[in-house]
Structure 1
Amino acid sequence: MHSAQVDAYLRRLGVEHPAWPTVDVLRELHLRHLQTVPFENLSIHLGEEIVLEEKRLLDKVVGARRGGFCYELNGAFGSLLAALGYDVALLAARVYGDGERLGIPYDHLALRVRTVDGGDWLADVGFGAHCHLPLAFGERGEQEDPGGTFRIVEAEPDAAGVRGGHDTMEAADLDVIRDGRPQYRLEVRPRVLGDFVAGVWWHSTSPVSHFTRSLVCSRVTEDGGRITLSGRRFTVTGADGSRQERELGADEEVLGVYRERFGIELGSVPTVRGTGQES
């Protein structure tokens, strides 16, 4: 990422160019990303190709002022952090679903970030409702965050009796837990962006993926709450957990919410496309 791209990305986030890649700067960048770049799956339903290449991600997130899902958001954010001097590793994860069953390999992309002054951190701006600030990667106790109480713990063996890491504690898989419920299982082996292409394809085409079955556009608000547009249902969640929902009517109203609340300009209202394989 060249300097003009870095400057444009930082303007997108409303952040000044930092002097050093410190923990405090990482925390500011992480929170501002969640507040300004929506978590959204609109490309799947608008028929837009999702390409895991740095330039294409920047064109979308920065140039077009859109959002994306985990591969796009954490992929782009990881590139920005690396350009700012952070040591960044892309990590693959499998998301816990119904009955705490693990999802597919490369189900999720998260980041391990090393700062100049504070060790390693788990950064994740692409998981929807999750931590607002980076989590200390090596901490195994509870970590309080505006998004909940988190823990990162060594994973127990999975359904196949495997816990990852070739039976060494240092390389064992990690479970990320929020408010007592496991969110995803993280592999600690670094990956490259191209490794996640199969995950993008599956989540963009499979009738089992929740991304093909529904629309979502969501971001953290400045007061610590969250706003979410799911189809025509607009939800405002307060920092205290209170919720207000309303159904939007005319297309103009829906497009207005995308534009005014999420900064996304659309020519038409997205609708769930499906996969042609629904039962």
Structure 2
Amino acid sequence: MEPLGTARTDAYLRRLGAARPARPTAASLRELHLRHLRTVPFENLSIHLGEDLVLTRDAVFDKIVTARRGGICYELNAGFAELLGALGHRVELLQARVYGKDGALGVPYDHLALRVDGRWLADVGFGDHTAHPLDLDEPGEQKDPGGVFLVRPARADGEGAGGDLDVLHDGVPVYRLETRPRVLADFRTGAWWHRTSPESGFTKGPVCSRLTEDGGRITLRDHTLIATSADGDRTEEELATDEEVRAAYRTEFAIVLDRLPVPLHPRP
């Protein structure tokens, strides 16, 4: 697959407010990763607006760059992969299964993450996660503004553990990463499941979230606006009217909606 053309690459960089790096380096990857998290929100609004999740390079580019929207992991990391590839990085798509609160692994192709230049685990599509790429060559704990992370071989007694890696956040496993490279079309079944299944957390209600400049996070979940500081302090504001919700989308995420998303499978 040919990389993004120059005009589209420049448009993506403008979307992030980033200059074109002179060459692909770990430092430039780190900066772009952080800018993506601050600028392009993690959001599942398409699911609740009746829009399809189309996993093609053109659809992802049009949504993130042209429409100035966000997306879920398949879209965000696929778009970021295209950008990084156009800038000279070697990028591989990896599939992961997310650990639930009960410690059980989710469905195959539950999540899409990126291996960059054979060393870095980049992930701009997991919501409240790392601010910077993780070093896959580092066997010990890695401190990040988002917490303390560890990448370790999956335990031998785990399901499908051979050669897989577990990613832990503050000591808790968050997802199991398969190291075999995949192509974007492989993730269509996972995206369909997350878009339609009552068991998917994404169908319970709309959510839109991004990292803030000061290291905190702003999240709009249904009609609740949640602000979390870098120190972990949290405030919640219930928005009383639809217009207040639309205004929050515009102000906090630069997303303009002519109608509000309606939960596909509302929480009981």
The TM-score with structure 2 as length reference comes to: 0.96
Give per-residue Cα distances to partners, 1:98-135, cap 9 Å, x unaligned. 22100000000000001xxxx61000000000000000
User: Is 1:54–2:53 an aligned residue pair?
Assistant: no
How do residues 38-187 of structure 1 correspond to structure 2 at under 5 angstroms? 38-114=41-117, 120-157=119-156, 160=159, 162-164=160-162, 172-187=163-178
User: Is 1:14–2:17 an aligned residue pair?
Assistant: yes
User: Is 1:260–2:246 an aligned residue pair?
Assistant: no
Aligned match for 2:184, one of 186, 189, 193:
193
SS in 1 for 2:63: helix
Mapped to 2, the partners of 1:15 and 1:200 lie a distance apart of 29
Q: CA deviation at 1:157?
A: 3.2
The residue type equivalent to 1:80 in the other structure is L
The residue type equivalent to 1:120 in the other structure is R
Give per-residue Cα distances to partners, 1:35-58, cap 9 Å, x unaligned. 000000000000111111000000
Q: CA deviation at 1:159?
A: 5.1
Structure 1 residues 156 and 225, CA gap change in structure 2 (3 angstroms): same
Asked if structure 1 preserves the Cα contact closer than 8 Å seen for 2:49 and 2:260, the reply is no
How do residues 24-39 of structure 1 correspond to structure 2 at under 5 angstroms? 24-39=27-42
Mapped to 2, the partners of 1:139 and 1:91 lie a distance apart of 18
Mapped to 2, the partners of 1:137 and 1:52 lie a distance apart of 27
The residue type equivalent to 1:190 in the other structure is P
User: Is 1:233–2:224 an aligned residue pair?
Assistant: yes
Mapped to 2, the partners of 1:243 and 1:163 lie a distance apart of 37
The residue type equivalent to 2:91 in the other structure is V
Runs of 5+ unmatched residues, structure 1: 165-171
SS in 1 for 2:62: helix
Q: CA deviation at 1:273?
A: 2.1
Structure 1 residues 121 and 154, CA gap change in structure 2 (3 angstroms): same
SS in 1 for 2:85: helix
What corresponds to 2:5 in structure 1? 2
Aligned length: 265
RMSD: 1.3
What corresponds to 1:224 in structure 2? 215
Give per-residue Cα distances to partners, 1:64-83, cap 9 Å, x unaligned. 00000000000000010001
Mapped to 1, the partners of 2:101 and 2:130 lie a distance apart of 21
The residue type equivalent to 1:195 in the other structure is D
What corresponds to 2:261 in structure 1? 270
Mapped to 2, the partners of 1:90 and 1:100 lie a distance apart of 24
Q: CA deviation at 1:158?
A: 5.2
SS in 2 for 1:257: helix
Query: Once the two structures are aligned, what percentage of the paired residues are identical?
Result: 60
Give per-residue Cα distances to partners, 1:156-213, cap 9 Å, x unaligned. 13554x412xxxxxxx100000000000000000000000000000000000000011
Mapped to 2, the partners of 1:130 and 1:210 lie a distance apart of 17
